[in-house]
Copies of this chain bind each other. A is one copy, B any other.
Amino acid sequence: MRQAGRYMPEYRALRQRYSLLELCRAPELAVEVTLQPVRTLGVDAAILFSDLLLPLAPMGLTFEFLKGEGPSFHEPVRSAADVDRVRPIDPAHELAYVLDTIRMLKAQLDVPLIGFVGAPFTLASYAIEGGPSKDFARTKAMMYTEPQAWHALCGRLADMAGAYLRAQIAAGVDAVQIFDSWVGHLSATDYREFALPHSRRVFDAIADLGTPSIHFGVGTGMLLEDMATAGSSVVGADWRVPLDHAWQLIGDHGIQGNLDPTLLLGPWPRVRAAVEDIVQRVGGRPGHIFNLGHGVLPMTSPDVVQRVTRLVHSLTATRNT
């Protein structure tokens, strides 16, 4: 999950002077924000500070972030004609600032750097809904009523995502993550028809590079078996599915997760018990990336995040002896 954010005072200080998009688009600032949690938390890898939606603007899907409401697209995709105006991009040109950020980070980091992209389903759902949604009704209505337009849109997004990840890897990231944040709203049947082929296309596009890849979603307990077939080396699981059960479902893959971020708002003995429970469910098996099941909540204390990092290190160090 994104490591930096509003729970960190040093991030909030920057956000008083710059918008989210300004931070993402200025390499010096994005480098600083990426490094903040690495310095204070002691994590084993850095996650590129960026935003899932950045590639959409040069594709013709422009948006802004409304205060307290999240992204708002100027012209949401509602028809096949809207899909036709979605343009391919050259990441080396339109997303050069991200690649510059990666190169600058690689010159400074002692730990691996993880890049990322949004999965076609999740990016399409943002572009179609145009703003926040509880039920993804417009997204699903387009899937069902205009499947050709849907697949055309997701095809363009998959091509972008593949090219963008290749560019990130060429610029130096050591691993990549594909975020299919909202795919948990689909039934398994719909997932297989409307989302999985496009996610697979993204992983296929980078398969020859051999870069470790993580495939993440929220509320995906019923989709994990299918998600595991898309081509990633690691599958993420949120807190709704017990980690050992999730691992059974995904078979011979690494697993990432799965502490409920809300638990970090609780008293330390409860946090510790939950972390220990996850490590116990791993049972010493290699291939587990300890992480939250979703992003750190703004009201979280940085001290607790740091303490969890230390606890995971101490528990897994003991285990490895």
Q: Which A residues form the contact surface with B (CB < 8 A)?
A: 135-137, 140-141, 143-145, 184-190, 219, 221-222, 239-242, 260-263, 265-267, 270, 274, 277, 294, 297, 299
Contacts and interface: CB of A to CB of B under 8 A. Distances in A.
A67 to B, nearest CB: 16
A141 B266 contact: yes
A263 B263 CA distance: 35
Contacts of A267: 144-145
A188 B299 contact: no
Nearest to A273: B189
Given A145-B266, A222-B240, 6 more contacts: A137-B265, A144-B262, A144-B270, A145-B267, A189-B277, A222-B242
A222 B143 CA distance: 26
Copies of this chain assembled into the complex:
2
A239 B187 contact: yes
Contacts of A262: 135-137, 140-141, 144
6 contacts: A136-B262, A137-B299, A140-B266, A186-B240, A221-B221, A221-B222
Contacts of A140: 260, 262-263, 265-266
A211 to B, nearest CB: 31
Task: Count chain B CB atoms within 10 A of each CB in A143, A222, A267 and give the residue with the most.
Answer: A222
Nearest to A70: B134
A34 to B, nearest CB: 24
Most buried by B among A140, A187, A242: A187
Contacts of A190: 260
A241 B312 CA distance: 33
The 3 lowest CB-CB distance pairs between A and B, nearest first, are A144-B266, A140-B262, A141-B265
A263 B186 CA distance: 11
Contacts of A145: 265-267
Contacts of A144: 262-263, 265-267, 270
B265 A188 contact: no
Nearest to A298: B137
A274 B299 CA distance: 42
A36 to B, nearest CB: 22
Q: Of residues A144, A189, A242, which shows the largest number of chain B Cβ atoms within 10 Å of its Cβ? A: A144
A72 to B, nearest CB: 15
